[in-house]
Structure 1
């Protein structure tokens, strides 16, 4: 896309001139009663020409950590746009947001429906509206997400790194973890990339929450991108380390029981190191689940209990340099964002050393007796 051939100056009857910031509400559909349904958007234009970037959140209506980050951007007076344009959309899926739901009322997933159809389902029509009104005006996009329900994610960027523009943008964003992944069919980022608008996502935190450290990480990364493109003044904040993750693994439980974690989001693990212990309601140890790989904890369940086959932990595999990164993290001060994220994201569950929880962990998974109650 060439920003010189696109305009962000007219939104319905609203004209946004260079140097102006205006709030608009753009109609995308109507309710059963015939009332207009609108998406609130803030448009910021710099004095000088430059790239247009859309920042979206809550494409899944319950993932509102990104909403908090965009609202922080909107209220930060320090962000003075010199060049280019920002399209800030705190909530894309307003119908899901109103219902505290991931989905639209027709129970379809908006982030599997792009680029959509003007004659399709309710969700498909909304996807088409977003594509025509937001993506088509933009040179780049950043879409903010969280883990799905009952899970949390340590902040990680996901992008198709075969695209040189996305290599530059994600590097500038400054998240320590970048997963090389084009995204599923029908996702906003994949469809936008296919349409010539390089787009990546940030996955961080939990649904139904605006977590302060996640907001800080998100805003820091967004400002880094703006600075790197010359859109605002400032110095890019560099993360303590960077690594690209090419593949991930889910670790699943073989037994039912209550969970006692021994790691937190963002922790490094080695093959065979204990991740979580399962135990019965009466405290009998059932299984010590160990890491199947070397890597870093990307995500975890926030449920306190599990059943056989359920995922308990998501590991990002690190090909090289893990010991060096571990040393870097060990030397960080307690107030470092990396450590605050780790502590904040682990507040939904208990984290203890395995030795503090079970003195002699079983070697094999015990078979439950007929009268054992979990």
Structure 2
């Protein structure tokens, strides 16, 4: 646990003292006409000293489930803190968000541009600003993401579990699936952790959407972390199970065609189980894509038309005994948000029985 801090906090030149809540427009860039482009930030500070936590969303401008999670957290629940500081950034990539685009106007991926550079590219400057104005001034971080274009992700937390502080943070969030890894080079969570701020990410749902079951899991996770850190009262909301994932793999199309899926996101699969059937454009069966391992489907294509090599399904490896244990856990509570997420995310896929023509 970091040392409790109650000194004045300055973000973007604005001082936020203990007991204050302020909305700040953090200067990011300018339009062609010289108007300032600002990142919206809300800072909530308790009068009592405690940890500083940031929650960011929409580093990819089309991944707005995280924006919805922060929105619901702010307006659907009480944000009063017992101690510490909470910094909420519902949209990091304002330029991409305004244009419904994943990337920045310079076509760079902001989430491969950290730690950034004060005098670098547009992406580098924004990354530098986020690192130095937000991440480095906090003790913990949560970064909210969705799947890439034409895919959906079953809710999972990704974290570098070799770090004890990050491992505790990931566990406290309370997601059913925790995937081990440092993150890609240049990613925000990797560089934030490297700079001394333990950071995790939530991957959930599709781009361009705000999905109710994803919101429930995300808001619940933020609140779990705050309870764990002693920043809010209450009891954490545990998931039906929590699996640590060490290895994942992508199944890819071998021929061009149209997919019909046989499983939904979040489904447990066994080795040899049919995942999808690839049909020709005239409806002739070409091949059946099967799982090479036991596991759980953590990501799936939502675009049924595929070319050779394109992703079909992302499988997180589990043992047969793990699957049986986790299946029993899910069956105990029919109202669990993870079961609801599995049902909701499947509505954007053509899921049929294996023998259906």
Q: Residue in 1 aligned with 2:330? A: 329
Q: Residue in 1 aligned with 2:57? A: 57
Contact 2:4 2:84 in 1 (8 A): no
Q: For 2:66 and 2:231, how far apart are their aligned partners in 1? A: 21
Q: Residue in 1 aligned with 2:347? A: 347
Q: For 2:185 and 2:67, how far apart are their aligned partners in 1? A: 24
Contact 1:63 1:206 in 2 (8 A): yes
Aligned residues: 356
- Stretch deviating more after TM superposition (24-33 or 174-183): 24-33
- How far the C-alpha of 1:7 sits from its partner, in A, is 4.9
Q: For 2:188 and 2:118, how far apart are their aligned partners in 1? A: 16
- Stretch deviating more after TM superposition (155-164 or 324-333): 324-333
| Greater Cα radius of gyration, structure 1 or 2 | 1
Q: Where does 1:59-208 land on structure 2 (aligned, <5 Å)?
A: 59-208=59-208
Relative distance call for 1:130 and 1:153 in structure 2 (3 A) is same
The TM-score with structure 1 as length reference comes to 0.92
- How far the C-alpha of 1:14 sits from its partner, in A, is 3.8
Q: For 1:350 and 1:28, how far apart are their aligned partners in 2? A: 41
- How far the C-alpha of 1:306 sits from its partner, in A, is 1.4
- How far the C-alpha of 1:21 sits from its partner, in A, is 1.6
Q: For 1:8 and 1:57, how far apart are their aligned partners in 2? A: 25
Q: Residue in 2 aligned with 1:287? A: 287
Contact 1:3 1:52 in 2 (8 A): no
The TM-score with structure 2 as length reference comes to 0.96
Three-state SS of the structure 1 residue aligned to 2:260 is strand
- Give CA deviations for 1:297-318 in whole Å, capped at 9, x if unaligned: 0100000211222110000011
Aligned-residue RMSD, C-alpha: 1.6
- Give CA deviations for 1:204-246 in whole Å, capped at 9, x if unaligned: 0000111011011000001000001110111101111111110
Three-state SS of the structure 2 residue aligned to 1:183 is coil
Three-state SS of the structure 2 residue aligned to 1:321 is helix
Contact 2:66 2:145 in 1 (8 A): yes
Contact 2:7 2:18 in 1 (8 A): no
- How far the C-alpha of 1:12 sits from its partner, in A, is 4.6
Q: For 1:152 and 1:204, how far apart are their aligned partners in 2? A: 7
Q: For 1:141 and 1:117, how far apart are their aligned partners in 2? A: 21
Contact 2:5 2:51 in 1 (8 A): no
- How far the C-alpha of 1:24 sits from its partner, in A, is 1.1
Q: Residue in 2 aligned with 1:29? A: 29
Contact 2:54 2:140 in 1 (8 A): yes
- Stretch deviating more after TM superposition (164-173 or 316-325): 316-325
